[in-house]
Amino acid sequence: MEADDLDVCRQIAFRVAGHDHDATAEVLAVIEDLLQDEDEYDVAVTFLWNLQNLATHGLDTVRSSGEIYLLLGPRSAICWDSLAGFWSAVAEWRARTGVPLEPVAPLLGIENEELRTLLWTMNRTVSAGAKLGLADAVRYEKAVGSSLPGYSHIALAMRTTGQG
């Protein structure tokens, strides 16, 4: 995936996450369609990654994870759950390292929209107002050797749940 694709995913997720965006369901339907094509998997998961990170911050202007989850199709829900599971594993690993997490509050107070878009989508709020970010995910992958599941896990999950 090219840097432009990453930026587009981040920008769209930032807009769609807002309570005031009235085409959220339509955008998520497009993501569901993209997930039918293995070549589009990275774009769709990157979008969902950004959207999910935004939803964790508990901001009044942003839809919650629960609100977004209700709008997801079956493939998107599988990816959403995989992302949540991945971040839970990162958080558990990080807790075992004994290194305290940084607070999320400074990120949430950023006023510059470009910087806010970048940092709010690259980081997520976890318990006690702390944050996990992309650097934590990379360190976890290197230390544990476990990354996000690939495209094939969608079909397996759908068969297991009787959806495919």
pLDDT tens per residue, range 71-124: 999 999 999 999 999 999 999 999 999 989 999 999 999 999 999 999 999 999
93 token code pair:
């690993």
Instruction: Indicate whether 42 pLDDT > 70.
Output: yes
pLDDT band at residue 163 using 50, 70 and 90 as cut-offs? low
The domain total for the chain is: 1
143 token code pair:
């230390």
Q: Which of these, 10, 3, 5, 17, lies nearest to 115 by C-alpha position?
A: 10
What average pLDDT does range 139-150 have in this prediction?
83
Instruction: Indicate whether 155 pLDDT > 90.
Output: no
What confidence score (pLDDT) does residue 156 get? 57
What confidence score (pLDDT) does residue 153 get? 58
Task: State the number of CA atoms in the 13 A half-sphere of 85 facing the CB.
Answer: 10
Q: Answer whether 126's CB lies under 8 Å from 81's CB.
A: no
Range of the domain at 28: 3-160
What average pLDDT does range 13-27 have in this prediction?
94
CA distance 148 to 112: 31
Indicate the SS3 state at residue 43. Answer: helix
Mean pLDDT of the chain: 89
What confidence score (pLDDT) does residue 147 get? 77
Write down the pTM of the prediction. Answer: 0.90
Per-residue DSSP letter, 144: H
